[in-house]
Chains A and B, each alone.
Chain A
Amino acid sequence: MTAVGQVSDAVARDEVGDIDIQLIELSKRFDDVVAVDALSLEIERGSFFALLGPSGCGKTTTLRMIGGFEEPTSGRIELAGTDVSGLPPYKRDVNTVFQSYALFPHLTIFENVAFGLRRRKVRGDELRRRVVESLELVGLGGLERRKPRQLSGGQQQRIALARALVNRPRVLLLDEPLGALDLKLRKEMQLELKRIQHEVGITFVHVTHDQEEAMTMADRIVIMNHGQIEQLGTPSLLYEQPRTAFVASFLGVSNLLAGTVTGADRVRLADGTEVRVQRDALGGRTGSVQIGVRPEKLRLDGSESNTLEGTVAESAYIGVSTQYIVNTAAGAVTAYVQNDRPGAQAIPDGSRLTLSWNPDCTFVVDAQEAS
């Protein structure tokens, strides 16, 4: 190959928008449980990607299939365009941070981090340099001679990260890596992980059941439920325009009100009030639907065009905002009001008021199944 060819290859490989991981109709069945159900997904090179969903929805199984620890029942996995479905883990350019960290208890921290490099015959000064560099990346230089059990949980977590990153894999898989840490440490590590990902530029696939964690860290999130994709997108898209009731209630708080479609951008609520929604959000639906509004999008002064009459049932002062539960003829609605003006008084319980919100802040999901 000529030098020119090599350069253009390198450029092509690093071009933003390249697909690092592609899952094609991927399924996994355990006896009678379908853990992953015909999942198709593309993950862009260099992105911080989160797999988010409730416990048991198939996140770990998906990750383990990408890593090579679980054989798919059907479907394909492509890494950087090549099919790796039948390959063992040691032949995939992917490294994993296990939830239990899985540090080798009989080896020192140095040897734990050096393990992958030694397998690839990196020796001597380069080995030492890369191990030390990797430990410094996670802020734990100087602990080389310790054994894993002499470190705290947070430190072990960082070692597991260093041990994976030192190999400079194409993709790093993380299975609930912060799950075992306490809240404060978890918040710290969320930012730390994001910094490290920016620094190394490797594609991160992060599994979590914590929506806040996924929102904080990921560029893109896929929300899974029952082994299937509910919705994929940026954190703001998923939050502002959830497409299913599941996404709307899994990601933050939503007010969902039942109604009937009456026009291209109109829905009549149960109490007869007609509200306007985005044409796109309606997506050609007819008949029964639910409209949704986030609590912080509601105004209590009737200044927006969609309106709903109600009575304050409950209020709670939370500091940055005050939270109201308002009973309306269409159902109970939660509203958050910013406490951004001095000396603002809470509206007393029992007061009548008009809730209002912008049609552009109104999303639409399918009607609740009659149960």
Chain B
Amino acid sequence: MSAVTAPAEVARTRSPLRVLAWVRRHLLDAYALLALGYLFLPIAIVIAFSFNNPLGRFNYTWQGFTFHNWAHPLDYPGLSGALRVSIEIALLSSLIATVLGTLIALALVRYRFRGSSTTNLLIFVPMTTPEIVMGTSLLTLFLNWRIPQGFGTILIAHVAFNISYVVVTVRARLVGFDRHLEEAAMDLGANEVVTFFRVTLPLIAPGILAASLLAFALSIDDFVITYFNAGTTTTFPLFVWGSARVAVPPQINVVGTAIFLVAVGGMLVNVVWQNRRARLSA
């Protein structure tokens, strides 16, 4: 092989290689964009259609842009009541589940008691049980115990499925917790209660906040379990389902979008807060 032909040959063999490398380098980007699009397209449509001005009762085809729906977000019979029930249940159930779940997580991480390893496993059962099974079995339970269905049974059901998520989230935070910090607090004169509120709780607070946000989000959009245990009470998801047969008002999109924005906002606040704490402490 002569010295003159060599560079030309190298160039020829290299250029397809270079294209391949370029494709390979950008394949992941392209894939990520597609995946994101796939995830966000439905949300984008929900948001877009909250600005639609539909002709009939069904908000299914794009007719024209309007702010009317956002100006009158609850202007549809029954919607505001259902939304209110949903928010009440989400607030109450996430609060109760957060308190109970945090205590369970503390017990599981801190103490070896009879059945603690079984509990550690059982905690995952509600997360893996199909919702339809959980919904129907709760229904069976309430019927057998003659508990009247309504707000109370929805609340009980939501607390039941939320607890597992709280336990798992808070437990993750507790596992990396330095027990010497609590010993140091006691060494300095703090009893068990003071130690918990001054040292333990502030340090696991980010985990607890994340858990309660998750519980709130899971509760406010639950349909299946709620459907079986609601009686005559109507939550927002049940309302959407019920009205869909006769009408789909754009107000549903408005409320859906609002819930989405609140959830994203809460998530961002939590992330920013945690980053700030991470920078300042630990």
- A residues neighboring B (CB under 8 Å): 67-69, 88-90, 94-96, 98, 100, 102-106, 115-116, 119-120, 147-149, 163-164, 167
Contact = CB atoms under 8 A, between A and B. Distances in A.
Contacts of B282: 105, 149
B107 interface: no
A89 B194 contact: no
B191 interface: yes
Interface in B154-190: 178, 180-181, 183-190
Given A67-B187, A90-B189, A167-B188, A102 B181 contact: yes
Nearest to A167: B188
Q: Which 7 A-B pairs have the closest CB atoms?
A: A119-B189, A116-B188, A102-B184, A102-B180, A105-B281, A89-B186, A105-B282
SS of B interface (majority):
helix
Interface of B: 178, 180-181, 183-191, 194, 198-199, 202-203, 277, 280-282
Given A69-B186, A102-B180, A149-B280, 15 more contacts: A88-B186, A89-B186, A90-B188, A90-B189, A90-B190, A98-B184, A102-B181, A103-B184, A104-B181, A115-B198, A119-B189, A119-B194, A120-B189, A149-B281, A167-B188
Nearest to B194: A119
A89 B183 contact: yes
A78 B281 CA distance: 38
Contacts of B183: 67, 69, 89, 96, 98, 102
Given A88-B191, A116-B189, A149-B282, A96 B203 contact: no
Nearest to A67: B187
Contact of A115 (B188, B202, B203, B277): B188
A149 to B, nearest CB: 6
Of the listed residues B185, B189, B190, B199, the one surrounded by the most CB atoms of chain A closer than 10 A to its CB is B189
Determine which residue in B178, B184, B198, B280 has the highest number of CB atoms from chain A within 10 A of its CB, and name it.
B184
Contacts of B181: 102, 104-105
A69 to B, nearest CB: 5
Given A102-B178, A102-B180, A104-B199, A89 B281 contact: no
Contacts of A164: 187-188
A283 to B, nearest CB: 42
A105 B176 CA distance: 14
Contact of B187 (A90, A103, A120, A147): A90
